[in-house]
Structure 1
Amino acid sequence: MSEPVTTRNEGGKEFPAVTLSPAEVEREIEVQEQQSRQYMENESAYDRIAFSRIPFGARNTRALVITLGTFAAFSGMLSGLDQSVISGALPGIRKHFIGTGEWASMDDPKLANDISLISSLMPLGAMAGALMMMPLNHYLGRRNSIIVSCMWYSLGGGLCAGARSVGMLFAGRFILGIGVGIEGGCVGIYISECVPPELRGNLVSIYQLMIAFGEVIGYATGAIFFDVPSGSWRWMLGSSVLFSTILWAGMCFLPESPRWLVSKGKNGRAWQVWKSLREVSEAKNLEEYLAMEITVKNEVERSNNVAWWQRYMEVCLIPRNRRALIYASAMIFFGQMTGINAVMYNMSNLMAKMNFDDRESVLMSMVGGGALFLGTIPAVFTMDKFGRRVWAQNILVFIVGLVLVGVGYLYTNKGDAFFQANKDTALGLFFSGMVLYMSFFGAYSCLTWVVPAESFDFNTRSQGMAICSTFLYLWSFIVTYNFDRMQAAMTYTGLTIGFFGGLALLGFFYQLLFMPETKDKTLEEIDELFLMPTRKLVGLNLRNLVKHWRWVFGGMHPVEPREVRTGNTASGDAEKHEISEARLETL
């Protein structure tokens, strides 16, 4: 065996990182197989039912990994569908409940408030779901928590489709939100704990791709059912029941997270899952399993020696975890407070402001949804090639999009005659800005799921994701519920350029200075990255910016080909040096 490298977990406990020879790999596999057989023979009936999966013919481990990541991310389609379909359903909801007498007329103040609640109760329910996600993740596991979210989706979709009053519609939207909150926090954890580091960013990003695809399907559903003579909005809102049933069935074919199984002492089943997801005959995969097993056991052992409330507070009390929480929460803040969900929920209203009628508004909403979907695709396939920091800079381009949208709305503020005289210019500016904003936000939004899923250590991953998801849906609720009030106070132009655009500009500078790069790092290596104090991370980012953009200051920066091929670049050496110093500071 070659010389081991010493590493350490977040609590400061050191352990050896193994490097195995081929003969040692064979012996270790035999030991693990024997222990796994003994465990499986004595496994309880409950565990056999709760953690078994329906087998299917995956060609190899990579095929199962991609299937797991893609199908688990399919749950994002439910979230996207329920965000966008409400936009197409609102015109029918208004007409129906005015007809039943719940609202007096289109000018009824109660109508405006209730419509805001119908749109925003889903993110409010998602906050409750995000908080429920933490105990569900802890006690039931990652996969089973996603299955529980499907039950909430089905219940909420059924209530919305059969609503006989506005109150029932409120309840259905809130319950749908609970499903969104549970699923949103679980999927990123589940995928990140199951897939190899080189695929993690791409596969977690598929979740955002599926959200974007679900939003397109939601707008398309609105267009398809818009002309149904009666109850078109019921078909739109009830469509989520179909997709939640598909997800529910599909999750039964996927395994539980091996890291969660190890944390519960179910090592025998964890080994069986790991074998299905990795080629354990390759030394690096076996070493990753052994390092994961040691890390998780150490973290569980440490958490068992502290009070329950301290375990939940570790995400704030331990500096490494606190840095991850601030970083992940800031990324989510800048993603949500630049207005994306307010735009998605109110897309038909935004189109109506450009003088489209109800049907045209629903149809034209697919332009924004389609741009979001298409913009997500490049990030999904290159997230692990270019890294997180590169895609984060997309925020600059959707600032340009917000400016164009805001300028387009200026033509609607000067009366219908002026708008009609300059209609082509106004629509050109509006749709150019909308496509730029939605498409580049599609790529950026992948980070709101990738970053939290990989930033926290195992012991605080559920707490961290729960907090981040709660913030995500809180900020979504704030901008969605107050959207009409904000545009009335600021005008559409002031809201898009001044408020949303101003926050996006602030986010650009935050990411430039404070965002670490986690590309190609295992979850255990990312643990070490967050040991680095913030001031040193800022210094490292500034040095790398100067190094890579030195041509701005007067000359190209040469990079030797050998360094590029091997990855032994100066920036990589600097990062290793900073992490080593951070380790010494924490001893």
Structure 2
Amino acid sequence: MPKPTVEHAEDDDHHSDHESVGSDELEATETQPLRTPSREGLADDVAEFARGYNLMHKLEIFEKAAALIQSSTAIEDIPSITDEEIAALRRETERKWSQPKMLYFTILVCSIGAIEQGWAQTSMNGANLYFPREFGIGSPSPRDKLIVGLINSGIYLSTGIIGAWLSEPINRRVGRRGAIFMASWVCLISNIASALSGSWLVLLLFRVLLGVGLGIDASTVSVFAAECAPSAIRGGLAVSWQMWVAFGIFLGFVANVAVYDFPNPWRLQLAAPLLPTIPLLIMVFMSPESPAWYIKSEARYDLAFRSLCKLRNTELQAAKEVYAAYLQHQAKGIAPEAKSSFLTKMVELVSVPRIRRATIASYTVMLSQQLCGINIIAFYSSSIFVDAGFSDFGALLASCIFGFVNFVGAFPAVWTMDTLGRRSLLLLTLPFMALTMFAAGLSFSIPEDNPAHFALLATMIYLFCAEYSPGMGPVPSAYSAEVFPLSNRDVGMSLAVATANVWAAVLSLTFPRIMEALRPQGAFTLYAALNVVAVILVFFFVPETKRKSLEELDEVFSVPTRTFVRYQTTEYLPWFVRRYILRQKGAELRPLGLGGEYRQVGQEDDDDEES
């Protein structure tokens, strides 16, 4: 399926999918036109910058960096530039994955954080087979079903209501590394305490506390990785967050199987996620702090330069990014004391039209991720397989295969996010997810003693997961991270994480009752229908964002929502029918954006616009 995108300008291939994920200030040359002073004026500006930020001892490096940014002089003609620096600048495009070991070490730290996230969520999957009986809440009564659902949903509920919103103030005060360190301690204590719980109330309390830690981590780790990575490889590294979360889910399933024969295996299953937490606590401060955080929070360009020197191949490359950030802030008149308050940024998510449209799109993809039903399978797959006639061990093993498929299926997203695009990936995979979910429900119509019952159920769940992993899995977090302008990105991401987890809590809380009321076939059919709802929401409210720079994203979200919906209904949908159903090869699609459709950012509300 071709991308139903908002086309307004020719996409440049060098634009990364995540150019605007938390590090726009380090890529000013691509997002903000910079003035070109005379050679004398340039030298004076650089000297003033170096004096103001304790960088006079690196003046020569910054003079070369300024010449790279603001001058039309060929690289080879820049005074004092070395052969090593010229080679490093050329490798930025020719060998983009040739990066310092410290950069990959930092990404490794972030990957461990993602593994912690996935493992902690999945540990409850196996525990669901045991702890209800131990705590006397294993009966099919509505009360017991509600309690089990509350324990399962507690982690999501606290992530969405508390953890995600604590992320912004904690990051602002202690930085990315400090936030990850604090959140990991919360997760470590919560995992141990959950395993030692003597009642379901205590278990619920520490699952809620675990969600707080995971919420802070979820809103911090992927942004930390994106702010440290160079733009040329930021897209692939941003996708790796979801991929390593999937790997953590897989490890959780493996651990559930590994402790199957132990006494009270659920306690070990709930304690196991502390394993990735320990190295994360040790390693997080061995990596440099986010250079973008130093600039945004403290305007400490000297500290940002020091961090970037560890994350780039040469000091010149680090100086170029830092000085470009300085010029962009100067051009925009940004001062640390002039930053908006948290409450103001929250209000702007719905009051400023450009930001509101990004909020709607982000909310749509995050909501759709929960409507599809993946977290229900991740949390309850063992119980689902037991209900289908599997033994306890067979259910755990089948869930382990589910986790492996979820991990492997995430790899294609590294390439397809840049080629097909976010919106197109969702529109391609969601219909097939609906079909496989519906087919999984039909498997319960087959008698349990018929081998086809087990084969169809397992196959459809695995196919559903394989379709989820490259589309609805990585797209929502990557999409939400890039659609908000820099000024509101932290708060926007908090809202995105909160949206996903609050709805996950609702679904986890209600699923036991849904299974009881509708039986497995009815429950799967319901989620199949919700996948169809997700297709409709994405089609009408999610513009394409692949390879869009910050300025281009401003234009994309300048299109009024009603204009975009009308275009999808009257232009794109008829064209799609003519082109792909009626096979009319000559059918043409009029791009949205031609004929003066775009408005300036900060325009009036949709209600005041022309219909």
Both structures adopt the same fold (TM-score exceeding 0.5): yes
The answer to whether structure 1 residue 37 and structure 2 residue 75 are counterparts is no
Number of residue pairs the alignment of both structures matches: 530
The answer to whether structure 1 residue 582 and structure 2 residue 611 are counterparts is no
- SS at 1:252 equivalent: helix
- Give 1:69-80 correspondences, 5 Å limit: 69-80=107-118
Please name the residue that 2:453 is paired with: 426
Q: Provide the rounded CA distance (Å) in 2 between the counterparts of 1:299 and 1:363.
A: 56
Q: Provide the rounded CA distance (Å) in 1 between the counterparts of 2:107 and 2:595.
A: 34
Could you tell which deviates more after superposition, 461-470 or 397-406? 461-470
> What amino acid sits opposite 1:81 in the alignment?
W
Deviations 1:212-239 (A, max 9, x none): 11111111001000101x2322222111
- Give 1:140-151 correspondences, 5 Å limit: 140-151=174-185
- SS at 2:546 equivalent: coil
Please name the residue that 1:564 is paired with: none
Q: CA deviation at 1:104?
A: 7.7
Choose which of 57, 67, 83 in structure 1 pairs with 2:121. Answer: 83
Please name the residue that 1:401 is paired with: 436
Q: 1:251 to 1:515 in 2, by over 3 A?
A: same
Please name the residue that 1:46 is paired with: none
Is this contact kept in 1: 2:177–2:289, CA < 8 A?
yes
Is this contact kept in 2: 1:130–1:181, CA < 8 A?
yes
Q: Provide the rounded CA distance (Å) in 2 between the counterparts of 1:570 and 1:270.
A: 45
The answer to whether structure 1 residue 502 and structure 2 residue 557 are counterparts is no
Deviations 1:395-428 (A, max 9, x none): 12211110111111222xxxxxx431xx222223
TM-score (norm 1): 0.80
Q: Provide the rounded CA distance (Å) in 2 between the counterparts of 1:300 and 1:576.
A: 38
Choose which of 441, 450, 474 in structure 1 pairs with 2:502. Answer: 474
Q: Provide the rounded CA distance (Å) in 1 between the counterparts of 2:490 and 2:560.
A: 23
Is this contact kept in 2: 1:87–1:346, CA < 8 A?
yes
> What amino acid sits opposite 2:54 in the alignment?
R
Structure number with greater CO (CA < 8 Å, separation at least 6) is: 2
Please name the residue that 1:211 is paired with: 245
Q: Provide the rounded CA distance (Å) in 2 between the counterparts of 1:308 and 1:75.
A: 26
Q: CA deviation at 1:257?
A: 2.8
Q: CA deviation at 1:145?
A: 1.4
Please name the residue that 1:533 is paired with: 560
Q: 1:308 to 1:432 in 2, by over 3 A?
A: closer
> What amino acid sits opposite 1:582 in the alignment?
Q
Between the aligned residues of both structures, percent identity stands at 22
Is this contact kept in 2: 1:219–1:362, CA < 8 A?
yes
Please name the residue that 1:259 is paired with: 292
> What amino acid sits opposite 1:248 in the alignment?
L
Please name the residue that 1:289 is paired with: 325
- Give 1:330-479 correspondences, 5 Å limit: 330-393=364-427, 394-411=429-446, 418-420=447-449, 423-443=450-470, 444-479=472-507
Q: CA deviation at 1:143?
A: 3.0
Is this contact kept in 1: 2:119–2:273, CA < 8 A?
yes
Q: 1:554 to 1:231 in 2, by over 3 A?
A: closer
- SS at 1:17 equivalent: coil
TM-score (norm 2): 0.77
Q: 1:491 to 1:252 in 2, by over 3 A?
A: same
> What amino acid sits opposite 1:340 in the alignment?
I
Please name the residue that 2:74 is paired with: none
Q: Could you say which structure has the higher helix fraction?
A: 1
- Give 1:39-54 correspondences, 5 Å limit: none
Q: Provide the rounded CA distance (Å) in 1 between the counterparts of 2:519 and 2:360.
A: 32
Please name the residue that 1:3 is paired with: none
Q: 1:284 to 1:268 in 2, by over 3 A?
A: closer
- Give 1:226-237 correspondences, 5 Å limit: 226-228=260-262, 230-237=263-270
Q: 1:107 to 1:531 in 2, by over 3 A?
A: closer
Q: Provide the rounded CA distance (Å) in 1 between the counterparts of 2:595 and 2:395.
A: 56
Deviations 1:295-350 (A, max 9, x none): 7763856545xx76334312221111111111101111010122111221111110
The answer to whether structure 1 residue 18 and structure 2 residue 4 are counterparts is no
Q: 1:236 to 1:22 in 2, by over 3 A?
A: farther
Is this contact kept in 2: 1:258–1:274, CA < 8 A?
yes
Q: CA deviation at 1:152?
A: 0.9
Could you tell which deviates more after superposition, 254-263 or 283-292? 283-292
Q: CA deviation at 1:462?
A: 1.8
Choose which of 156, 162, 168 in structure 2 pairs with 1:123. Answer: 156
- SS at 1:468 equivalent: helix
Is this contact kept in 2: 1:379–1:446, CA < 8 A?
yes
Q: CA deviation at 1:65?
A: 4.4
The answer to whether structure 1 residue 517 and structure 2 residue 550 are counterparts is no
Q: 1:312 to 1:584 in 2, by over 3 A?
A: closer
Is this contact kept in 2: 1:337–1:503, CA < 8 A?
yes
- Give 1:308-319 correspondences, 5 Å limit: 309-319=343-353
Q: 1:276 to 1:392 in 2, by over 3 A?
A: farther
Structure 2 residue runs without a partner (length 5+): 1-23, 25-30, 59-96, 606-611
CA RMSD, aligned part only? 3.7
